Amino acid sequence: MHLLCESNVIEDYLVESKEVNYSHITIKEKAEELHAGSLNEIDFVKRAFVFVRDSIAHSWDIQSSRITCNASEVLHFSEGICYAKSNLLCAILRSNGIPTGFCYQRLTLGDTPDTGYCVHALNAVYLHTIGKWIRLDARGNKPGIHAEFSLTEEKLAFPIRDEYGEMDYLHIYAAPNPKTIQSLKQSTDCLTMYQLGLPTSL
């Protein structure tokens, strides 16, 4: 597997945006808190990943109708779907100078193709210490889903099932996909959006 960067300019993966609003005081404070307890770059990235994975609830898992999008909003309410959680992890890492991008998968919405498809978001992080990108999926673990931090073998939330028409998009994007943000902005109920309003492809 070979990941392809959308941009060859590493600074593009450090840009602040409306969704990745890392200058917000709460993002800066959380990033500083996580960094203060870290031994090095890799430890900081791992701590940030574990925080977003475990301390920010996935909206569908808790059956919440609230929709969050911007990183500070996700942190404030401590919940969001994968699109929102990837914004938060990106913001925390970029605030400390860690290049972070967005990656996507096309998955079945349920367990089989007849349930339809949806786009799933995760992050890619460039670690200067080892000179390479790794992908991390902070969606949130539960029975049947076990994503972990790993420098060698990817341990993402969802293995791709080619026979089901699922896809791994191997690009690392500098900004969230517009379709995913549009879903968050145009919807009013997260549970309805999750079932009927997610993009089906990039």
Say if residues 82 and 134 touch (Cβ distance below 8 Å): no
pLDDT bracket for residue 124 (50, 70, 90):
very high
Model pLDDT, residue 112: 87
Average pLDDT of the chain to the nearest whole number: 97
- Give me the residues paired with residue 119 across strands: 106
The predicted structure's pLDDT at residue 62: 98
pLDDT attached to residue 178: 98
pLDDT, tens only, 36-75: 999 999 999 999 999 999 999 999 999 999 999 999 999 9
Burial class (CB within 10 angstroms; exposed 0-12, middle 13-18, buried 19+) of 136: buried
Dist CA 57 CA 63 (whole Å):
10
Query: Among residues of the chain, what percentage have pLDDT more than 90?
Result: 98
Burial of residue 171 (CB within 10 Å: 0-12, 13-18, 19+) is middle
R_g over Cα of the chain: 16
Question: Could you give the residue ranges of the DSSP H alpha helices within the chain?
Answer: 25-36, 41-55, 71-77, 82-94, 178-186, 190-196
The rounded distance, in Å, linking the Cα atoms of 54 and 68 is 17
What is the percent of the chain where pLDDT is above 70?
Answer: 100
Query: What is the pLDDT, as a whole number, of residue 64?
Result: 98
pTM above 0.95, yes or no: yes
Place of tokens 């475990």: 54
pLDDT band at 145 (very low <50, low <70, confident <90, very high): very high
Q: Label residue 156 by pLDDT band (50, 70, 90).
A: very high
Q: DSSP label at 18?
A: S
pLDDT of residue 1: 72
Q: What's the pLDDT band for 2 if we cut at 50, 70, 90?
A: confident
